[in-house]
A and B are shown apart, each in its own frame.
Chain A
Amino acid sequence: MKSKPVIALVGNPNSGKSSLFNQLTGLRQKVGNFPGVTVDKKSGLTSLPEQAGTAGLEAVVVDLPGVYSIYPKSLDEQIVTDILANPAHSDYPDVAVVVVDASNLSRNLLLFSQIVDLGVPVVLALNMLDVARQQLQEVNAVRLSMQLGVPVVKINARMGEGLDLLKQAVRNLLETPAHAESLFFDPARELNGLITDVRNQYRLENNYVALQYLIQHDGFSFLNQQQRVGLDALIEKHRFNEQDFQARETIERYRRIGKVVKEVVTDKRPLGQSTWSQRIDRVLLHPFWGYALFATVLLLIFQAIFAWAQPFMDAIDSGVAWLNGTLQERLPEGPLTSLLTDGVLAGIGGVIVFIPQIAFLFMLVSLLEESGYMSRVMVLMDRIMRQFGLNGRSVVPLISGVACAVPAIMATRSIGSWRERLITILVTPLMSCSARLPIYTILIALVVPARTVLGVFNLQGLVMMGLYLLGLTAALVAAYVFKKIVRARERSVFVMELPTYKWPRWTNVGLTVWDSVKSFVLEAGRVILAISVILWVLASYGPGQSMEEAETRIRQSYRDLPSDQLENRVAAGRLEASYAGRFGKVIEPVIKPLGYDWKIGIALISSFAAREVFVGTMATIYSIGSADDENTNTVKEKLRNEVNPETGGPMFTPALAFSLLIFYVFAMMCMSTIAIVYRETRGWKWPAIQLAYMSVLAYVSAFLVYQLLK
């Protein structure tokens, strides 16, 4: 017995399901995983009204991925069938609320009729009646309820209307669970012997569930190998043709739905007249204006991530620096204070500084999705993407990759074909993410003069843009190569509904932003924090007395230096003697051909935790005062003053800086990304391949750049 009743929200994509979920749960929602699979599970709490003597109660609302039928097309969609055909599942609902788009009743009722036939108690939430009315369609909810034999509640999920009635209907159904008397589509009518066999052998009550066992048993996670073999044997015995039967089922359902729709919908749409949504499409999918507008939208996204987010990031930066400085002044000097400020606080600062960029990106992506434009972008890009073994749907991950590869890779789940999804996952980290931005900024500032070229363009800005374009080009080329290597497991499909354009709801956008920021801080944040602490330990301690010995040696040989310069020398010497320093020395021979020394080596290694750690590590390594280590100018000055011990000239020559820049454009320097690729591809094979190809690409390119520019 579950402690709280479970309500599942089911519906077509674009039916307003997510809006309803947000309205029902508000901020009382969380994102987790469904047991055993990596599909995001959005769930939340809602309160149901009291009723005839019983008190009000709390219920868990689970938002299932949007599907068109219970026959899944992608990984995301599998979970819906997995839960609804398996009453033993921990998320099996006590009541399913099927959200139905009234302006497209027949297609939405297909899914509804399948859910009812699975034996789940159902309330039908009739949504988007306003859209239907705009299209001159009237839907009679009372008649619909009578025709279908289930409670029908009119709602407006975007405005939050009809929620009380919906909750009341759910409550009624919880008290007195009602099941339909007869199935909408009864497979036993044609397959009596087979269905009976399945029911007996697997102890099933429901004919339609038995049919699902037959058709979908390879996909059902709750069946074991022996059960699957048993079903194959039954299929063989009865010479059952799954595809044929599934096609007939769909046609039969639509035939019956057609009768229902005829009874309940009055359609006064003039024939052949295009809706305003279609007229907008003519512009947004126009051969010229379509791409021009998309380019503008992309530019806007870049502008938001790099310009608009900057003041917020600066504020966070200086806030953290101030806190760090204050703590160092107030607290007694010692390893604990150092751990707290240089380790923990520096780590947290490195995480939260990216919140503005992530928030802006997700706000814009969510706006594009809410308005319906994102589907048009997919249509616009599919043909081009296909050349590279990708899919129109790959556009969203690639754009999101500019902020962070982790959510971008999670966004690939909507791509149905495994090959296209895998290729998207493999190339997305080549899109320059926001964590590379600090590295780009500081190195460009170091070697590229801030000159205006061609009248308007800032040379530094152009170089920066060049790096982003280089990443994009590399992603496309890599995709093309993988297209030749990776074999297709199933056919690529691009059948997609184009939803009507809508004004975005700010609450939905806000909740999406809130969710993504929260999961970024909690998930990526944990890793970055842990690595910062480990790095601090490695850089603060050395084997035996080596660090103390180094300090004594330096204090003796540089006795005449002013005290602040001496302290810097001491810090640098101690670092060289630390575990991290020794590690850097070990890998120095490998990175020498790229122009890097052991100090850069430490930064490279530590940036594996998260690329943004690079700048912080460089700051530490080049012995900059820890209180103002967020001050870019100081870091820049110190890098500029660093002398190459072999040549006597400056260490950071253009050759070295460009070599480092190119290295970071291509390198897979991010543990969180490796972890998410492992999770999404369910194994170490693909993350290993990805790490290998990106590392080779980074190493070879950086080597060439350094050797050519040297």
Chain B
Amino acid sequence: MAGQFRMSTRSVADLKVGEKAVIKSFSDQWMSLKLLEMGCLPGAEISLHCKAPLGDPICLNVSGYCLSMRKSEASTILVE
């Protein structure tokens, strides 16, 4: 069951460059407060624009601007 559950939860960290997704929820409340303020809202579209040379941090397009964050932070944003 647990494995199945994890299979169905994709996060922003799993996106490929150029891929779009819609934000569903957050897995970390403390982190979500900051992300919400930066415009990462449930229902908003988010896309992966590029990655830093070592694959981390990543740069995202959300609410019409470019936001960078670490992969670990992006993995708290769950997408549909």
Contacts and interface: CB of A to CB of B under 8 A. Distances in A.
Nearest to A282: B50
A254 B39 contact: yes
Nearest to B66: A498
Interface in A285-308: 285-288, 290-291
B46 interface: no
Nearest to A14: B65
Nearest to B59: A498
Given A281-B49, A285-B59, A496 B67 contact: yes
Range of interface residues on chain A?
35 or more
A286 B17 CA distance: 13
Interface string B39-61: 10110000001111111110101
B53 A380 contact: yes
Contact of B69 (A269, A380, A495): A495
Interface string B10-48: 000000000010000000011111111111011000000
Contact of A291 (B31, B53, B63): B53
Contacts of A384: 54
A409 to B, nearest CB: 25
Interface string A361-390: 000000000000001000110111000000
Nearest to A496: B68
A278 B52 contact: no
- The residue in B51, B59, B67 that gathers the most chain A C-beta atoms within 10 A of its C-beta is B59
Interface stretch (A103-111, A309-317, A623-631, A639-647): A103-111
A246 interface: yes
A500 B30 CA distance: 28
A372 to B, nearest CB: 10
A278 B53 contact: no
A491 B76 CA distance: 14
A251 interface: yes
A277 interface: yes
Interface string B59-80: 1010111111110010000000
Interface string A266-277: 000100101001
A446 B59 CA distance: 50
Contacts of B49: 274, 278, 281
B41 A285 contact: no
Contact of B38 (A68, A244, A278, A494): A68
Contact of A287 (B31, B42, B53, B63): B53
B57 A379 contact: yes
B50 A382 contact: no
Contact of B39 (A107, A246, A277, A285): A107
A285 B52 CA distance: 6
A247 B67 contact: no
A496 B66 CA distance: 9
Contact of A497 (B30, B31, B65, B70): B65
A269 B35 CA distance: 24
Interface residues of B, number: 34
Interface string A480-507: 0000000000010111111010000000
B25 to A, nearest CB: 11
A475 B14 CA distance: 34
A68 B33 CA distance: 12
Contact of B33 (A71, A278, A380): A71
Contacts of A291: 53
A243 B50 CA distance: 31
Contact of A496 (B33, B35, B69): B69
A244 B50 contact: no
A287 B50 CA distance: 11
Contacts of B68: 375, 379, 494-498
Interface string A66-85: 00110101000000000000
Q: Which of B37, B51, B55 has the most CB of A within 10 A?
A: B37
Interface of A: 68-69, 71, 73, 103-104, 106-107, 110, 135, 243-244, 246-247, 250-251, 254, 269, 272, 274, 277-278, 281-282, 285-288, 290-291, 375, 379-380, 382-384, 392, 491, 493-498, 500
9 contacts: A104-B64, A106-B39, A106-B64, A244-B29, A282-B50, A285-B52, A380-B52, A382-B52, A496-B69
* 6 tightest A-B CB contacts, nearest first: A287-B53, A498-B66, A250-B36, A383-B54, A495-B69, A69-B37
Given A107-B38, A491-B31, A493-B31, 9 more contacts: A68-B38, A104-B63, A247-B36, A250-B36, A286-B53, A287-B54, A495-B73, A496-B68, A498-B59
